[in-house]
Amino acid sequence: NIEKKMGLKGSATCEMTFGETKPAVGYLVGNVHDGIAQMFNVIEHARMAIGMKSMSQLSCAYLNSLDYAKTRTQGADLPKAHDKTSPRVAIIEHPDVKRMLMLLKSYSEGMRAFGLWTANLRDLVDVEKAKKTDEATKKAHLLEKMQDLSLPLVKGFFSEKVYDLLSISLQVFGGSGYCKDYPIEQYIRDQKIDTLYEGTTQIQAQDLIFRKILRDKGEVMKVVLGGLEERLAKGMSVDTLKGDVELIQKGYAHFQKMTLALQEKIGENLYHAGLQGNRYLYAFSTMMISSFLVEHAAIASEKMKTAKGDDAHFYRGKVESMRFFAREIMPEMKRDLEVISNSSLHIMDVPTECF
C-alpha cells in the first residue's frame, strides 16, 4: 500500500530529504549547553555495556573451550608420550591446555566480579540520592566518582584483554577453532570493535590519567585502592592463602611505585602519558581483578570446609583461579614498573621518514 501511494514499483528505493521543500526544524533536548553533559551520560552507559559485553564473550568462549577440551581425545599423557600402549587422553589432561583454560577461567571470573562491582556503584548512587540528606548526597557523589574512575578500566581493559584471550580460546580448539564449526572464530571477529568504538583504548587511558586521577590529585583513586587493600586483607586472614596473596601484595607494591613513577614522568613531559597510558591502565585493571579473585578465594576457603560433590569442586576452582593469577599474572607488575620508570621519549624524536 505504501509503495502504491508513493508511486513505487518492486524493490525501488526511496530517499528522504529534510528541508527540501521547507526549512527543517530542530528541537532542543534539555537546556542550552547541556549537549556535552548528555553525550557523556550516554557514553558512560555505553562504555559500561561494552565492558560487560566483552566479559560475557570471554566467559562464553571459556565454557566452549572447556567443553571441547573435556571431550577431544588426542595423544597420551605427557610422561607416557613414548609409550605407544598408553591410553589416549582428553586434551584437558595436557599441561598447556590446563594453563590456557585456567587463564580464561581466572580472567572470566575476575572481570565478572570487577564489572558487577562497578555496575553496583551506580545502584548505590541511586539508593543514596533517594535518601535526600546532605550526608547521603555527599556519599552518592563519591560513589559516582568511583564508578567514573572504574569505567575506563572496564571498557578499555576488558575489550583489549578479551580480544587477546579469545585467541587463547581458539588455540584450545587447534585448527578446528579456525573453522565455522565452532563459534570462537566469530567471537574474535565480533570482539575487535569493542576496543574501538565509544573511545579507543588510548582515549580510555588518557581519560583515566588526566580526568579521573590527576584532576582530583588521586583522592577518589585512594578510596578505590582502599577497597582493594581490604579485599587483600581478607585473603591474608586465611592461613592457606597467605603465600599466594603475598605474591599479589608484592605486585601491588610494584603498582604503587608505578603510579608515582608515571606521575613524575608526566610532570617532565605529557608525552609519557601517551606512551605509557595503556600499560598503566592494564596494570590498574589487573590489580583490581586480582583483589576480587582474592576475595572469592577467601569466601570459597570457608565454604570448602563443609562443601561436598560439585560444590566442593566449584569452591576449590575459585581458590585455584586466584593462585594461578598470583603466580602467572602478577609478575607482570614488576616488568611494567621497570618499563614506566625507564620511560624514554626517544621514539618521539624519530623522524616520520624512518617509519
The residues assigned a catalytic role are 198
E strand intervals along 43-92: 73-76, 88-90
Partners of residue 88 on adjacent β-strands: 76
Tell me how far apart the alpha carbons of residues 321 and 332 are, in angstroms, rounded to a whole number.
17
Tell me how far apart the alpha carbons of residues 271 and 79 are, in angstroms, rounded to a whole number.
51
Tell me how far apart the alpha carbons of residues 346 and 350 are, in angstroms, rounded to a whole number.
7
CB 162 within 8 A of CB 194: yes
Helix (H, G, I), strand (E, B) or coil at 89: strand
Partners of residue 90 on adjacent β-strands: 73
CB 294 within 8 A of CB 245: yes
CB 169 within 8 A of CB 184: yes
201: which 3 cell numbers?
583504548
Tell me how far apart the alpha carbons of residues 121 and 227 are, in angstroms, rounded to a whole number.
13
